[in-house]
């Protein structure tokens, strides 16, 4: 029933699409309407950006390389840290000049930032040249919003949560031809005390397994070589589905699709990562022995205050189990330095955990208070300057760990998926199964293909190599 309503909604948007296409033809500065879409933040936002671009394509838009040329400018924003958010305010502010030069330009802001009441208000009051502001749950209504702006030139503000099921069938224009994102679940129920995501992305909703499997099958048939399954907490996939399917089972079903491809997934929450998951990985055809498993802190008191719901020992137990069933498994992780009330001694536990696990690489963040979260109200006596010093200490430890791991790779040959050519060095970059990047010289025809590359030199985390016979 619900799904039927959703499909009716999409048909309704199709009607707006046709009208917008007609009106934009007339309004465009050049022969075809041009759109500029800039996405900030995580892969979830990148996947949303592809749905936005899919809809714009259906409305006759082509894509501009800079906002200056565009008839429609959209910023798809991220709210996870203050710094990221400030950059967006700055960049949106700069669009004012473009609007002055080309008053017909339509400017829109969407994504996680706009889901915060105070931010939406700020766009409303202080950025009058922004025509459309919309939230993360209504991207499929972009045609209607454009129609409204074009027909009665009023500003449009649209947020809201619709339905319990994930909307299927929104047109998608994928950025890549060899790597694709497939959303398996939306939202997050975890409420880690520092994190804004559950407030801006809403409650967890899983897509039906048959929809996911058939999307993956189509991608593999179309020649995609790597599929990354997306969700804020993929390990809790399946909550609320009619058919009880957990994440491990979903992986099993995708892995059964024939072809030469890799399945990746992110993000796994340690509290929900199961032994079953590692067993499936160990026995699969297509899942690399690699997992991104954010630990955030190596200290139990800090983990408790973060509401992470696992201990250091439980985390290490997972790592040990994974290594017991996949001796070659590698890990990456996210870490937060300077959580409110964290002491220098507690921070040392984070460093010792990094040394113990030997991560391939780390995504490291200095704690950033987010309005409305629990941690934002906690006393935070350590100065930013001090946290910056801790941060530098952490980077040094990770660099040592990474340098050792990289050095051990020299002389070995790896199968990489070739992703792109580095503009500066002119070298190709390929990614190993464990998500390590190796740069090597080679021809254009290799991009998007697998290649065997022998590592010839290592500098901290940077690896260079050459094509192997």
Which residues are paired to 132 by β-bridges? 108, 156
| Per CB under 6 A, 76 contacts ligand SF4 | no
Please say which residue, 80 or 291, places its beta carbon nearer to ligand F3S: 80
Which residues are paired to 34 by β-bridges? 62
End-to-end Cα separation, the chain, in angstroms: 57
> Residue 172: exposed, middle, or buried by beta-carbon count in 10 A (0-12, 13-18, 19+)?
middle
Alpha carbon distances (Å) from 9 to 54, 88, 138, 152, 170:
17, 31, 11, 22, 11
Dihedrals φ, ψ of 449, to 5°? Answer: -115, 165
Residues 164-223 close enough to bind ligand SF4 by CB under 6 A: 188, 190-192, 195, 197-198
Dihedrals φ, ψ of 11, to 5°? Answer: -65, -35
Beta carbons of 266 and 43 less than 8 angstroms apart = yes
Please say which residue, 199 or 440, places its beta carbon nearer to ligand F3S: 199
Residues 59-88 close enough to bind ligand F3S by CB under 6 A: 78-80
Beta carbons of 36 and 8 less than 8 angstroms apart = no
CB of 334 vs ligand SF4, minimal distance in Å: 8
| Per CB under 6 A, 37 contacts ligand F3S | no
| Per CB under 6 A, 237 contacts ligand SAH | no
Residues 252-281 close enough to bind ligand SAH by CB under 6 A: 267, 269
198 is in the binding site of which of ligand SF4, ligand SAH, ligand F3S, none (Cβ under 5 to 8 A by kind)? ligand SF4
Which helix (H) or strand (E) segment is 459 a member of?
strand 450-459
367 is in the binding site of which of ligand SF4, ligand F3S, ligand SAH, none (Cβ under 5 to 8 A by kind)? ligand SAH
| Per CB under 6 A, 195 contacts ligand SAH | yes
| Per CB under 6 A, 81 contacts ligand SAH | yes
336 is in the binding site of which of ligand SF4, ligand F3S, ligand SAH, none (Cβ under 5 to 8 A by kind)? ligand SAH
| Per CB under 6 A, 311 contacts ligand SAH | no
13 CB-near residues (< 8 Å, 6+ apart):
55, 140, 141, 142, 143, 144
Please say which residue, 191 or 283, places its beta carbon nearer to ligand SAH: 191
Give the pair of three-digit tokens for residue 215.
């999307």
Residues 263-292 close enough to bind ligand SF4 by CB under 6 A: 269
396 CB-near residues (< 8 Å, 6+ apart):
none
| Per CB under 6 A, 186 contacts ligand F3S | no
* Residues that bind ligand F3S in the complex, under the rule CB under 6 A: 41-42, 44-45, 78-80, 112, 196-197, 200-201
* Residues that bind ligand SAH in the complex, under the rule CB under 6 A: 80-81, 194-195, 197, 232-233, 267, 269, 294, 296, 334, 336, 365, 367-368, 370
């Amino acid at each position: 029933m619900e799904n039927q309503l959703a499909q009716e909604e999409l048909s309704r948007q199709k009607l707006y699409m046709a009208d917008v296409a007609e009106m934009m033809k007339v309004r465009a500065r050049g022969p075809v309407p041009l759109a500029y879409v800039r996405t900030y933040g995580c892969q979830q936002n990148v996947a949303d950006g592809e749905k936005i671009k899919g809809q714009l394509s259906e409305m006759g838009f082509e894509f501009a390389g800079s906002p200056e040329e565009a008839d429609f400018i959209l910023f798809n924003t991220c709210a996870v840290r203050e710094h990221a958010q400030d950059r967006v305010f700055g960049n949106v502010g700069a669009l004012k000049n473009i609007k002055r030069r080309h008053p017909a330009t339509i400017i829109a802001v969407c994504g996680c930032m706009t889901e915060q009441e105070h931010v939406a208000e700020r766009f409303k009051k202080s950025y009058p040249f922004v025509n459309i502001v919309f939230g993360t749950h209504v991207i499929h209504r972009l045609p209607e919003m454009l129609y409204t702006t074009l027909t009665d030139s009023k500003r449009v503000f649209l947020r809201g949560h619709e339905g319990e099921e994930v909307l299927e069938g929104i047109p998608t224009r994928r950025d890549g031809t060899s790597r694709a994102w497939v959303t398996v679940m939306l939202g997050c129920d975890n409420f880690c005390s520092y994190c804004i995501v559950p407030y801006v992305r809403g409650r967890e909703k899983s897509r039906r397994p048959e929809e996911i499997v058939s999307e993956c099958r189509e991608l593999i048939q179309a020649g995609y070589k790597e599929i990354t399954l997306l969700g804020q907490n993929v390990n809790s996939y399946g909550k609320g589905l009619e058919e009880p399917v957990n994440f491990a089972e979903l992986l099993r079903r995708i892995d059964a699709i024939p072809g030469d491809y890799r399945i990746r997934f992110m993000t796994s929450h340690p509290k929900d990562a199961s032994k079953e998951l590692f067993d499936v990985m160990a026995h699969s055809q297509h899942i690399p022995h690699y997992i991104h498993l954010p630990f955030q802190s190596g200290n139990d008191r800090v983990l408790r205050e973060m509401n992470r719901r696992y201990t250091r020992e439980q985390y290490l137990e997972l790592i040990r189990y994974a290594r017991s069933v996949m001796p070659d498994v590698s890990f990456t992780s996210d870490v937060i330095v300077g959580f409110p009330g964290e002491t220098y001694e507690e921070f040392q536990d984070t460093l010792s955990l990094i040394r113990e696990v030997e991560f391939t690489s780390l995504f490291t963040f200095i704690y950033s208070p987010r309005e409305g979260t629990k941690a934002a109200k906690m006393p935070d006596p350590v100065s930013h300057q001090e946290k910056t010093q801790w941060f530098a200490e952490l980077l040094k430890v990770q660099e040592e760990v990474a340098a050792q791991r990289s050095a051990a790779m020299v002389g070995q040959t790896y199968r990489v998926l070739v992703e792109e050519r580095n503009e500066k060095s002119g070298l190709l970059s390929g990614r190993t199964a464990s998500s390590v990047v190796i740069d090597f010289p080679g021809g254009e025809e290799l991009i998007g293909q697998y290649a065997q590359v022998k590592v010839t030199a290592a500098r901290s985390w940077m690896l260079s190599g050459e094509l192997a016979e």
